[in-house]
């Protein structure tokens, strides 16, 4: 064990003297996480300007404009009154408003006819979400009007006198569709960009430890360091243990430092400390096993660098370190659950949103450790031969 500690100490001293290790392990993840946070800042809340052209000014049109200016609607949109549909198209094209809603002349009176006038929406490819929301608002309002018309027609068909049409219409106007979609809190916090990309970037640059450690091993072997260790004599298992311990300590320090700084300086939410630490340790163990696997598979330093690059960027793409995995296709979301960094991202995301303690990350930790055991078993057999 003393030999393994000395080897780990030697590797850590070499890595700390290497400025690139400090940049990759600390500065880069902090910088990229901050940049991504600023880039996505404001996406957690949604609000846009909606241009409204009211060419009708009838009772129904007035009610629609009133609902758009209500307190509930103002949390999502701000109404900008526009004089004409041509001005609305120009303002949407120029970006002065994100979308527009045009109420045609005679819209209110046409609702009593068989083929009433239609609401028109003006949208832009540069504001697709706002366009979808505007179309949804128009569709919801039209659904309510159709329900009102159906109720009046039903009353007339069942024997109500035609002379009571105005009273029936007024009564139908105060009704609402009984089945409504209502947003309710479920006890989960909103996932902010900094709370996602802080662990994402910390994990991504943690994976570069695979490249550093495997390259260090082949440099030592090329320089005859491994042979001198064997002649000491130091057993292959002690050499592997020393290399693994240096990766473990460096990875844990890097992940912990980024976690503390992003939490204090940027307000990132990593979850409860105990759960976050245990999840991070499980991930670092998987990195140790992957490093040993690269050492065992590669035969030269160049091969180790190539295998490491493929492994690092492949895991990062599959695990959701570059983009939020929730916005990925279903196949990518499924594949992410078979990667240690993907499971870690799932665990940190759950901690930041639904909270909880260790129970929240038990499954991700179990999956990461199972993957580590599988890769570690193969890696030990191959790495022993590399040391020997």
The predicted-structure confidence for 184-234, as pLDDT tens digits, reads as follows 555 567 788 888 888 999 999 999 989 888 888 888 888 887 777 777 777
179 or 190, higher pLDDT? 190
* 254-261 average pLDDT score: 89
326-342, pLDDT tens digit by residue? 777 888 888 888 899 99
* 249 CB-near residues (< 8 Å, 6+ apart): 8, 12
Rounded Cα gap, residues 388 and 126, in angstroms: 60
Q: What is the mean pLDDT of residues 66-75?
A: 84
Domain boundaries 49-173, corresponding CATH code: 3.40.1710
Which residue ranges does the chain devote to CATH 3.40.1710? 49-173
**Predicted local confidence at residue 84, as pLDDT:** 92
Say yes or no to pLDDT of 132 above 70.
yes
> Angle 308-310-315 (CA atoms, 0-180°, nearest 5)?
95
Phi and psi at residue 123, in whole multiples of 5°?
-130, 175
Residue 180 has pLDDT above 80, yes or no: no
Mean pLDDT, the chain, integer: 84
Give residue-wise pLDDT tens across range 79-106.
Answer: 999 999 999 999 999 999 999 999 999 8
Which pLDDT tens digit goes with each residue over 114-128?
Answer: 778 888 999 998 888
**Per-residue model confidence (pLDDT) at position 137:** 87
Q: Which residue has the higher pLDDT, 272 or 35?
A: 272
The confidence score (pLDDT) of residue 384 equals: 65
State the pLDDT at residue 276. Answer: 93
pLDDT at 27: 85
Yes or no: say if 352 and 270 are a contact pair by the CB < 8 Å rule.
yes
Can you state the angle between helices 236-266 and 208-222, rounded to 10 degrees?
A: 150
pLDDT of residue 176: 59
Taken in order 184, 186, 187, 193, the sign of the CA dihedral is: negative
What strand order describes the sheet that includes 99-103? 77-81, 48-54, 99-103, 120-122
Mean pLDDT across 26-35: 82
Most confidently predicted of 17-26, 130-139, 280-289? 280-289
Cis peptide before 233 (omega within 30 of 0): yes
Query: Strands (DSSP E) along the chain, which ranges?
Result: 48-54, 77-81, 99-103, 120-122
pLDDT tens string 333-375: 888 888 999 999 999 999 998 888 888 999 999 999 999 999 9
Query: What is the per-residue pLDDT for 182?
Result: 59
Q: How far apart are CA 21 and CA 264, in angstroms?
A: 23
pLDDT at 385: 67
Q: What are the pLDDT digits (tens) for 293-335? A: 898 888 888 898 999 999 999 999 999 888 887 777 888 888 8
Task: Flag the least confident range among 27-36, 59-68, 278-287.
Answer: 27-36
């Amino acid at each position: 064990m003393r030999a393994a500690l000395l080897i780990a100490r030697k590797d850590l001293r070499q890595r700390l003297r290497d400025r690139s290790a400090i940049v990759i392990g600390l500065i880069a993840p902090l910088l990229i996480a901050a940049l991504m946070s600023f880039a996505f800042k404001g996406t957690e809340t949604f609000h846009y300007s909606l241009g409204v052209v009211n060419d009708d000014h009838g009772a129904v049109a007035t009610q629609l404009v009133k609902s758009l200016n209500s307190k509930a609607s103002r949390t999502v949109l701000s109404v900008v009154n526009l004089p004409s549909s041509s001005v609305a198209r120009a303002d949407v094209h120029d970006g002065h408003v994100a979308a527009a809603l045009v109420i045609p002349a005679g819209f209110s009176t046409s609702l009593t006819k068989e083929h009433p006038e239609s609401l028109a929406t003006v949208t832009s490819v540069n504001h697709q979400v706002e366009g979808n929301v505007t179309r949804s608002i128009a569709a919801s309002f039209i659904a309510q009007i159709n329900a009102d018309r159906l109720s009046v027609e039903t009353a007339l068909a069942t024997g109500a006198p035609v002379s009571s049409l105005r009273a029936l219409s007024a009564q139908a106007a105060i009704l609402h569709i009984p089945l409504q979609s209502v947003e309710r809190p479920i006890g989960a916090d909103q996932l902010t960009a900094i709370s996602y990309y802080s662990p994402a970037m910390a994990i991504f640059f943690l994976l570069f430890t695979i490249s550093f450690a495997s390259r260090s091993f082949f440099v030592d072997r090329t320089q005859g360091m491994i042979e001198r260790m064997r002649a000491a004599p130091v057993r292959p298992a002690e050499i592997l243990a020393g290399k693994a311990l240096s990766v473990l300590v460096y990875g844990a320090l890097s992940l912990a430092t980024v976690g503390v700084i992003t939490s204090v300086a940027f307000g990132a939410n990593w979850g409860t400390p105990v759960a976050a630490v245990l999840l991070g340790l499980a991930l670092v163990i998987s990195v140790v096993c992957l490093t040993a696997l690269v050492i065992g598979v590669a035969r030269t330093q160049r091969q180790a660098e190539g295998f490491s690059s493929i492994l690092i960027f492949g895991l990062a793409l599959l695990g959701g370190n570059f983009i939020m995995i929730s916005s990925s296709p279903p196949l990518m979301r499924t594949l992410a659950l078979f990667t240690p960094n993907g499971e870690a991202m799932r665990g940190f995301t759950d901690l930041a949103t639904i909270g909880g303690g260790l129970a929240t990350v038990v499954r991700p930790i179990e999956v990461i450790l199972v993957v580590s055991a599988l890769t570690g078993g193969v890696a030990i057999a191959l790495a022993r031969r590399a040391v020997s």
